[in-house]
Structures are given as structure tokens and as C-alpha cells.
Structure 1
């Protein structure tokens, strides 16, 4: 009887759990359907929605962190953001529809064609950021438009047609960090912004007047330029500005004197016009060069790699010809075309390091996006068209194990390559850095995963660039970045065609391979040799010191490093974890690495064979 009662209790509990599961499942399904309905209602208020044709009501907008609909940003099956940029959209932004998305925290509709007044943003009270720059929004913004938006951190309304005063509700947002209102027609005085965490407030090119509030006086002066009646730090003192205003009765006399001075100046200008143009051009070129050095850091002038904010040259930059072609970034990834060179010049720059090819800097632009700017020294002999064509060629490469190029900058004596910042560091730092509980040594399955990813990325380069002697040319552990899931990303690839030939054997790893050191022979198997070195480095934890050799590596040193590994019995890195029952597979990979490091080019394996053999290795 007792057993029967116990069974009934267990059965009832099971039925209850099953019922709850059905209810929760139904709730999840209806939630997903609600998201889709909200977005489709939002789409109805838009015009020219061709870019949103894949918003299919038969599919859920999100599948985990993957979006099924264009422009939707997902996490754990929820819609947390919308990025509908450069789509030619117009119409009305239906905030009532967006308010039905409970986890929406950010949206960006930049570079579209919206021309209505700004909607009542406080309807999205939990929003953290919005980006509406480069549209045609117009009219006044009511004072209470942003009231109660206590989570709002980033407000981008630049380059629209807003008028009247800056809404005072912006000044009361407790978490505001970044605000861009530049390029509008705002007038009147600037509200008293009291937020302690404010980083950037750009109010340039409006019709603002009066003193700059004290809490904004440490902002860059360029953020207030283009407002002729603003005064106070960081601009001219208000007292000095008032003194420059002429009394009404002296204005005609001063106007006559000014006209006379202009006429005299024109006479002198005609006499020296040719010399003047030459001097101005020369100074502009020199100023731009020095500005770029101070903005992005000049390793030779920096005593230590400390964080710095390169904003000193920004004022001069704002006065120069911003539309000049020589100051434009060239984007190869159009999805990232949301910043310009001025954003880099006004961003803080942290020196990441100075390698053989040049210095690298981490910059955080105004959108909050982290980028890496790499400044190359030895590319000044490559022509403009040749450089542009090669960068476009690199930009077309697309593989999960390549760090994609975002943009580049060309001047005859200045070359910059820009990519996303990967915050998990390089393979070299994980192999040779200090390990602790927070940053343990890489285990065997992870190391094998990295080897396979590096090999696949390298094979892709060899297949996509059949005409290049060395498709990568600079493969080493410090040029392999690791994302958060420890998937490797190759960087600094395919640089040989644009590096000055007299420096190339000093800079690139492939030119330190045994075949080049001994016979000045360079083949695609130099990349195979570099891959073999990385495999041995990953398995043994030993750093190949000949990378540090300037110029050509010592042939005996190369042989000694490889031969030492080949003859040692206890060769594997002692810090490598999860090696139980994997010794046979580890030795299989070791043999592949040694085969890649064969001194004879003829005996060394082809890339396709190497990758095929690596794919056969298992973690157990």
C-alpha cells in the first residue's frame, strides 16, 4: 500500500513537471512569435525596405546568438539590438512597436534617409544606446524627450537638421558617456551637464552661444568649433570674446580700415602667390604627418608604452581640409564603414607593442568599438595603385581563421592597416606567459584545435593566392590571435608584395627559413616550414629564439632547435593538461611538425598533405 501511494506521488509530480514544461515551452514559443510580430509592425512604418526582405514571419528572428533576419542582433534567443545602417530607409520609426521587444537595448539607423522629427525616445526606457547620425531628422526636440532613460549611455544625433535648444533631459541622464550632436542647428546655451563619467560631448558646427559649462571644459576644443558665439575653456575666455566686439559707433570706421587692409594684402599676395602656395603645401604635408604620428603614437618618440590620448593635434586637424582625399580611410569591409580618420585621431591610443613590421595601437572610437591600428614603416616605395589593389585583394579574403582587414590608410610615407581588436591575446602569450588559476596553460584538446585552425587558414591562403610565392610569409605564434572560444585568427598575412624589398628578409619569417638562408630560394613551402615550427612550439612550449635574430637566421641555430626536439624523449610541454590517453595522438602531431621542418625543400610536405594529416589527429 505504501509503495502504491509513493508511486502515485511520483506520478503526480511527474505530471506536474510535464505540465509546467508545456506551459514554459508555450511561453517561449509565443515570446518568439511576439518578437517577430513587433519587428514586422515596425517594418510597416518604414519606406524602401528592400534590405529587409528576409524578415520572414515563418522564421524566428533569432536562433540563439545567430540572427535569421538582416540587421537583428541576438543573444540567447533574444533580440537585444537592431543595426539597420546604410539601407536607404525612410519613413517613421515606430517606437511603440519596438517597445514590444523587452530585451532591446540598442539600435542604429545611421546613414539612412529619415526626415521626420525625433520620436519620443523615453518610450524605450531601458535603452542603453542609439545611433541616428547622418540622416535628415529635423525640428525641435522637446525638453522631456529623454526623461527617465536612466540606462542611456550613448546618444548619436550628429549631422541632421535639428533646431532650437539642446533638450535639458539629456543633461540629467545619470549614465551618459558619449554624445554627438555635431552638425545640426542647435541654438542657445549648453545645458549644465553634471555627469562625472562623460567621456565625449561633441557639439561642433551648431549655433550655440554663451559660456561652456564647467563640467565640459576639459573636452577637446574641436568639439565646440563652428559655434561662433561660444566662449570659455577650452575656447577663448568669455571676457576676451566680449572685448573683441566693437562698439556700434566705431563699426563703420573699422570696416573701412579692414577694406583698406584687404586691398593692400591682395597687392602683396599677387607678388608672392607662387612662393606662398609652395610654402603652404609643404607645411600642410608636414603638419598632417606630425599629427598622424602624435595621434597614433610614434614609438621612437615614446619612452614607454603607456596609454595616451592623442588629441593635441585635433584642433589643427579640424581647420585643415577634411574633405581632402589624402585624409580618407579606405574600407574593404563595408559593414564597418561607420567611422573615419577623425574618429581615430580623437580616440585614445594604447600601445600594444612594436614588432618587426611596425607598431600596433589599440583605439576605442566614439561608437565604443575597439580597433587595432598597425603602422608600417617599410612600405614607402610601393605605388598608390599597387597598394590599393593589393589591399582590396586582401579585403576579399574571407575565412573563419583569418583576422579580416577592416580598412587601410595610404600616404606615400604613411601606411595604416586597421582591424578588429581581439581581446584574448596571441598564441605566444598563452604559451609563454605566466599561468595561474585565472589564466591556466592551454590543454591538449585546445592546442590541437589551434593547430587545425591555423592549418586551415593557411591552406585557404594558398588556394586563394596561387600566384604568390609565399601566401602568408609571416606565420609565427605572436601573429596568431585567439578569440574567446580559442579559435585561431591569422594576422599580418600576405604583406610581402607591399614591403620594401631591401627590408623584406629582415622583417618576414618566411625569409628566415632554411631554404632562403642557404640558397636564397623562396617557395610556398616556406609557409609549411613556419607551420611546422608553430606545431613544435605548441607541443613543447619552447620558444623558437631564432625569430628574434635580426636579418637572416643562423642556419645552425635552426637545425639545433628542431633536432633537439626530435631526439628528446620527454619532449611535450609539462604544463599541458588533459593529456591522458592522448600520447599516441600527440606523437602523431609531433611527426607532422618534424616533416614540415625538413631542411630539404623536396622532402618537405606540400600544404595539402600537411592539412590532411593534421585533420586525422584526434584529441584522444
Structure 2
């Protein structure tokens, strides 16, 4: 009798244990299809004939559940309907950034209790930030920037005890900034909102850029003195009319006008005098003061673009200005009989006289000296590097520079000639019209820029690796010593050429601090003694720069106080690897595996201990395999047209 009574109870427990309403992969599959249908994603070319969605673009699974959904920049539009996230309950990472999604955040997002990374920036979401979001207490990264959110910043953000990133910039949030006790917060931005009041102590350690475009006050912004920061109130000793701007009298205005006219006439007279003087002078005359001023502008860190193409001065003028600045005097035509010394089969269509008469433009100031673009009278264009801090004897210099000149590889910038005198040392190279990798990556990120695709970037990586591998093959003690993106020059077809090789052993310690220390291996203490494994470290940083689009001196890295390798490793550890890549690379969905492998190679090269780094020959082999693999894939972005979308379903 007792057994019969227990049977219904056991049956009841069995029924409770059945997954009657628990979502599984089939529910995830259905939810993803509903999402695609609702947001009109023209580039979601998912192959629905596959048994599971785990191989679809942007979808990752673990233990038979969808855990990652990344759809950045997929032209998604419209509102996200309810019912999707109530099925995708095992999501850990959700990235819908850089689309055109609108409306309010769907309430069933609250069901994704395992969510750690939520990236919704760059959309059109509106309304107040909903309270249900604050129930996702495991969030580590939250980015709601560049939307249309309104209302105040809730104290509910304080629930995110694990939060490290909070971006709310470029919305219409109003009110004050609450004092949120987010102890682990590393990245924070509320700029370009309608916020006011004082900045709480918790956030005073972040930079000014985190609060720009608001009416907040207090460190790091100006103090809360009750005076609007955009208005300057003049002191009024008599007290009358306070708050009004003092008007100028008629006499003062007349004086300003007359003074301006006289000043303009004086400037015109000076210009006419200079033009007449220039036309009567010889072609070899130089304006030392103007050249010295341009070199000073570069030394104090003004952008190179401000001085390029501006002087039209000669190489002789550049050298003379440097000697005047050093208090040495003299010039390159001092009658010492010195000549340009050419290497190998280098063309000898010009001599020292031709070089000194060439018009010169400053290309940049580097670790070893200043580089110029020199246009000779016969039309030949070369690059001239004027070395600084050369302390070795002429004999030792000649021995070392001849070793450099003898190096011949298609991925090296060939050294054509050199000049040595007591006051001046010049190196003559082939001119690379496309400039450096640094300028290509970071020079122009605005409208009209042509994105650097995976094929170009991987090709540059392979070419640079081959050039450095060749250098290392010349002997166990032969290294580059100064690998960085500004020393990787490019041809018209984006082929990489390594420059400045061998110069680290020619010059003394830099007179100014190394502005690109982010490339230097931890064990390097003497810039003149850099091992091959230290070169590998620098090349690893270069690979990470290629993939992330961030230089080692990027402002974000400086704010966090970490170098580029550690920043990349922290992101990979947080399982949001795709977020590390440059936005320009995320369009190429078919080469994600190769991108991740190259990222891992960069991390391997930048290992802290030299013995854990691969050799350059191994690095070259791995990059070559990646490039060959990606050639077998279609590396172009998926087509944005309705026809292709219809075919996928």
C-alpha cells in the first residue's frame, strides 16, 4: 500500500525533471532566425541547411548552446522583438554594435543571466536605460555609447560588481553622475551627454576625455566654482554692470584699424624685399634660420604634415642649420675632398654637388636622425637620412656601414650611398613614395580613407618578417635593433620594405627619451645591443599593431598604464577576442581563423622571456602558411544585396 502511494510522487518528480520549457539548441536556432527576419540583416548569409547554427557567421556554441553572438556592422535595422533572448539564455557575449537598431532594449534580455560582455554602441536605441539591465550582475564589459538613451544615470549601475568597462558617451543622458562604487572599473566614458554637477571621487582618476562635452565639474575638469567654463567673466573693479562685456570706444576701434593697416603694409614691404633678394641670390644660398625653425618644430613634436612641402630648402641647408645649432659652423663644401661613396651596382647618376643642390622636404625625425625627401635637378628622388649622435671613428663607421650596404634583399630598403665628414654623416636610400606603415595605419582615420583589408595587412606582415629573417641570417649577432611601424616602408603595391637596419650600432645613446619604447623588449637596457630575440619581441608588437589598429602609444593604453601586448592578452583572457581587432578587419568574416592565428603569433613573439619567443624563421613560416590559407578563402566582404540574402534561406 505504501509503494502505491509513492508511485505518483515519483512520477511527479520525473515530470518536473523533464525540460518542458527549457530552451535548447533548436530553440536557439529558431531565435536566431527570428532575429534575422526582424532586423533585416542583409549580410546575415547564414546557411540554414546546416543542422546547427554553431557554424554560422558570428555565432559560437558551447555544450550544445549558443554562447556568443557577434554581428558588428551588419546593417541591421529596426527593433528587436520580444522572445528572442528568452531563448538565448546562455549568451556570454552579445555584440550588435555599429548597426542601426532602434527602439527600446527588449525586456527579455534580462533572461541572459550569464552575459559578461554587452556591446550595443553605434545604434539608435532610445528611451531610458531599463532597470532590468541591472540584474545582469556578471557583466564585465558594457558599452551603450553612441545611441539615443535619455534620462538619468541610475544608481543601479552599482550592481555590476565585476564591471571593468562602462561606456555611455554620445547619448542624451541628463542629471548628475552618481557615486558608483565600481571597484574594478578600468575604462569609463560619459562624454557628450547633458550631465551636470560635480564628478564623484570614484571617477576623478579618469582622463578629461571621459567627461568632455558635459557640464560636469571637478577633477579632472575645472572646479565647481559656479561659473560656466565656456564663459570668461572679466573683472570689474568698479562693480557696475557686472556680467556685461565692456565695449570698446570709437577711438580704440580707429586705433586698431589704423594699426592693422600699417602692419599689413609693413608685411607686404618685407615680402617684396625678400622676393627681390631671393631672385638675385645664387641657387646655392641658404636660409639657415628657416631650416632651423622647421627642425625645431619637428623636435618639439609638431605634426610632420605641418612642415612637409613647406620649405623647399636644400640638403646643404639642412646640414648647415644643424651645424649652426650645434655651435660647430662650417658646411658640407669645406674642401675636404669628401665624396659620396656608393655601394655595389647602385646608380651613380649624381654626386655630392647634385645632392647638396637638391630641394629637400622633411619626412620625419626618428631615433637615429632626421629623414628628408630630396629631389635632384635631373628629377631623381632619393631619401636622405642625416644621422645624429655618431661617436665612432671614421674607420669604424666605414666598416659597419659597408656591412649594411652589402645587404641585399627584396624586403629591405637598399642603402645606395653614404657621406662621412667630421660634422656630417648622410645616408642615401631609395625613396618609398607610399610612406611608412605607421602613417598608413594611423595617419587618416576620417572619411574618404580606404580601409586596409586582410590581404594587405597580412602581406605587409609577411614581407617585413622576410626582411628581418634575412637580417638574422647574416650571423647570430646581427639584429635590426629598432623595429617599429615607422621603419616599415611601403611600395606602390603595398610591399613591405624594412628600413633603418644596422643603424643601432652606429650611433650613441639617444639624446632624447625613446618615444616608442612600447616596441622595446623588457630585457633590453642598451639600445645599441639588441639581440635577435629582442627583435622578435618588437616584431610581435608590430603584428599586434597591424591587427588592432592601435599603436603602442595609443591614448587608451596610456590611460590604462599597460603596453599593447598586455592589453591584447587581457582582452583574450576575457573571452572577447573579436573586440581586439581593428574595425576595418571585422568586415572580412571568412578569414577570422587566420586573424586569430596571427594574433596568437603576435602574442607568442611578445612573450616576456626571450626563450619563449619563436625565431624569425619560424615566424616567417607561420605567416606564410596563414597567407596561403587565406588565399584559398574568399577574403572579400560578403555582398550586401537582397538576392544573396534570399538565396541563403
TM-score in terms of structure 1 length: 0.47
TM-score in terms of structure 2 length: 0.45
Q: Greater relative contact order: 1 or 2 (C-alpha under 8 angstroms, separation 6 or more)?
A: 2
